[in-house]
Chains A and B, each alone.
Chain A
Amino acid sequence: MRKYLARRLLLFVPTLLGASILIFVLMRLVPGDIAEILVYQTGTESSAVQEKQIQQIREELGLDRPIVVQYVAWLGNALRGDFGYSYTQRRPVTDILKERFPRSMELAFLTLVVAVLWAIPLGVVSAVRQNTWADYTVRLVSISGLSLPIFFTGVLILYGLVRFFQYLPPLEFVAFVDNPAENLKQLIWPTLAQAYYISAPIMRLTRSQMLEVIRHDYVRTARAKGLGERAVVYRHALRNSLLPVITFIGWWGGRLLGGIVIMEIIFAIPGMGTALVQAVSYRDYPTVQAIIFVMALVYLTINLLVDLAYAWLDPRIRYA
Chain B
Amino acid sequence: MTGLINVNCDFNHQLSIKEFPYIVRWRDDRCKRCGQCLSVCPTGAIKPSVKSVRIVESQGQIPKPIVKTKVIHVIEQAKDMENYCTGCAMCQLVCPNDAIEPEFNPQHKFYTFKNKGGEPYKRGGRRNDPNPSTLDRIKFTRISMLTDPALDAGRHEFRVRTYLGRLLQPENLPLTTKNGLITIDREKEEFIPPVREIFPVMIGSMSVGALSPPMWEGLAMGVAYLNEVDGIPIVMCTGEGGVPPRLLRSRYLKYFVLQIASGYFGWDEIIHSLPHMVVDPAAIEIKYGQGAKPGDGGLLMAQKVIKLIAKIRGVPERVDLASPPTHQTKYSIEEAVAKMIQSMSMAFGFRVPVYPKISGTKTATAVLNNLARNPYAAALAIDGEDGGTGAAYNVSLDKMGHPIASNVRDCYLELVRQGRQNELPIIAGGGIGKKGNLASNTAALIMLGASAVQVGKYIMQATAECLGDEYNRCNLCNTGKCPRGIATQDPKLYRRLDSEKVAERLVEVIRACEMELKKIFAPMGRSTELPIGMSDALGIDDKDMAERLQINYVC
Please indicate whether A and B come from the same complex rather than being unrelated chains. Answer: no
List the interface of chain B (C-beta within 8 A of A): none
